[in-house]
Structure 1
Amino acid sequence: MMTTQQIKIYGIPMDLGQNRRGVDMGPSAIRYAGLQSRLQRLGCQVIDSGNLTVPVVEEIDKIPLANGQAHHLNVIAEVCQHIYETAAHCIEVDERAIFLGGDHSIAIGTIAAILERPQKVGIIWVDTHADFNTPQTSPTGNVHGMVVSSLMGLGPDVLHIGKHHLQTEQIVMIGIRDLDSEERVALRESGIKVQTMRDIDEHGMAAIVQDALNYLGDVDVIHVSFDMDSLDPSVAGGVGTPVPGGLSYREAHLLMEMLADDGRVQSLDVVEVNPILDEHNHTAEVAVDMIASLFGQRII
């Protein structure tokens, strides 16, 4: 269990990867929900390093784009480079880190840095969406739907951050249930290990997580990228792209508990909390619950 360890928290108030305002307030909402005190009660030494600077764009692009384009591409690339440099410093000093989004485009920077680790690295991607579009396949042009493809060296060069591309055998996706048509074809052809909601329904979360950990059996360090829209909207409704049929509260907790038991998780993204779309900060509170399970909280 990941207790009695120093954990750094970084807020990344990025909202340019999608087209609904409010997700930039996600880091503040999660902090307000008591993240630091919750982790401290688990015996963790917590250092909140504040927020990374993200440019403010007065109006998020919503106009349709010509095929092959993406909204706010260059600004997002600049922010992800800054994220990469910050996360790379965490790696140099061997810190455990939590990165609070913001939209999921922040993972272009965090995961690019994680791939620089000298150890073998694995990624567990928990999301409704595979984020495997490119500007050519995306129906929206939103970069938060292009994260994994960018990390694998597809799509615009400006989003290829860091020295190493993500390899197929380094990632497992859990909870996928909403794909665009061309994205679905590309994902099938990619060879990425994908555990959909149907797989979870048929086999149960415990078997799915164990299978993922076995698949990543030879890696030394795991990074978890957790999109709050992986949860069912009845559990966490304050997200930008809610889709019915998601993870239950207990399924998500079990996932985090089993990852904690495994002992290899070194870093975490928690993304897509949107307080504007939430009620009484409930989704941020659920996010804190999930983080606590990953860092050692147990029923007994």
Structure 2
Amino acid sequence: MTGPLRIIGVPMDLGADRRGVDMGPSAIRYAGLGDELTALDYDPSDVGDLPVTHPEVGDPDAVEPATGHAKYVAEVRDVCTRLADEVSETLADGAFPLVLGGDHSIAIGSVNGSARDADIGVVWFDAHADFNTPATTPSGNVHGMPVAAFLGEGEFADSDWAPAGVDPSNVALVGIRSVDASERAALADSDVTVFTMSDIDERGITDVTEDALDVASDGTDGIHVSLDLDWLDPNEAPGVGTPVRGGVTYREAHAALERTAQRDVRSMEVVEVNPILDRSNRTAELAVELAASGLGKRII
């Protein structure tokens, strides 16, 4: 996994309920992302940040037909549509798309772009299931809905921008430990594979990650990797908006991403770094380290 790589920043916090995650792309760049990628023999180019409407001028109550309770959904749709084009064009140009968030709602665009001309699987490293829909969400925050959105669940089935054509049987959620009751029921009725923190406790991170990668690669053309920094324990990654205790350790996270790099990964995003809540840019530095592991960095 070396060669051309395109960095795409998406400074969006419209999908979250805490400000600051829009500064994530800048914090990750400042933490030395470009140097790490060059050291790995990639040829990185940075296209900068996609324009994103600020919440102060957006309309949280404007909704599409049949989208229900989803804040800033019109603005999220616009950003994700443009991001999908950018990711698709990057792949068509023979480069690897590395997307920097921003809140996790941007994954709707990343997955759609990666899946536009291919059958892909998705590995979702996250504390949360992100399987709410506008009808089930307790908050209305779209960063709690991207998996449901790109799979066309609920109201998203009728939208012309969210469903990506990904087979749910090729989606694996890893390290989940915060699930709403409605999400639990919906996941039980879906073909999505869920590996909770209890599975990692019982089986170990490498076995769980290998199984997740097998799910995502079964009959597909490649894998999209989505890394939410709240997947890690807050003691490791304090700069996130929705921390949940009991996450993976520093070494477990690296072990998982090192295994991931051995598979056919075609696109990746790193999201939910919030510098306002961070300590000395520690979470952004961790994001750079983990992205490097996911792109092939080894100890020896």
Per the normalisation by structure 1, the TM-score is 0.93
Distance 1:164 1:292 in 2: 27
Distance 1:265 1:191 in 2: 21
Structure 1: which amino acid aligns with 2:232?
Answer: L
Please say if 1:22 is aligned against 2:20.
yes
Residue 152 of structure 2 contacts residue 162 of structure 2 at CA under 8 Å; is this kept in 1?
A: no
SS in 1 for 2:140: coil
Match of 1:38 in 2: 36
Distance 1:267 1:10 in 2: 11
Identity %: 46
Kindly report which structure 2 residues correspond to 1:115-154, keeping only aligned pairs within 5 A, or say none: 115-118=115-118, 120-154=119-153
Structure 1: which amino acid aligns with 2:229?
Answer: M
Residue 91 of structure 1 contacts residue 117 of structure 1 at CA under 8 Å; is this kept in 2?
A: no
Q: Deviations along 1:259-299, whole A, 9 cap, x unmatched?
A: 1122x012101000000000100000000000111112111
Structure 2: which amino acid aligns with 1:23?
Answer: V
Q: Deviations along 1:227-281, whole A, 9 cap, x unmatched?
A: 010000000010000000001111110111011122x012101000000000100
Structure 2 CA distance for partners of 1:178 and 1:162, relative to 1, 3 Å: closer
Q: Deviations along 1:72-120, whole A, 9 cap, x unmatched?
A: 11111111111111112112223201000000000111101111123x3
Q: Deviations along 1:24-58, whole A, 9 cap, x unmatched?
A: 00000000000001111111111011111111222
SS in 2 for 1:261: coil
Please say if 1:48 is aligned against 2:37.
no
Residue 60 of structure 2 contacts residue 73 of structure 2 at CA under 8 Å; is this kept in 1?
A: no
Distance 2:133 2:266 in 1: 29
Per the normalisation by structure 2, the TM-score is 0.93
C-alpha deviation, 1:168, in angstroms? 1.0
Aligned length: 294
Structure 2 CA distance for partners of 1:52 and 1:129, relative to 1, 3 Å: same
Match of 1:79 in 2: 79
Distance 1:62 1:164 in 2: 24
Structure 2: which amino acid aligns with 1:121?
Answer: I
Distance 1:93 1:182 in 2: 41
> Any unmatched runs of 5+ in structure 1?
none
Match of 1:191 in 2: 191
> Any unmatched runs of 5+ in structure 2?
none
Structure 2: which amino acid aligns with 1:85?
Answer: D
Distance 1:174 1:157 in 2: 24
Supply the RMSD in Å over aligned alpha carbons.
2.0
Residue 108 of structure 1 contacts residue 159 of structure 1 at CA under 8 Å; is this kept in 2?
A: no
Match of 2:228 in 1: 227
Structure 2 CA distance for partners of 1:214 and 1:133, relative to 1, 3 Å: same
Moved more, 215-224 or 35-44: 215-224
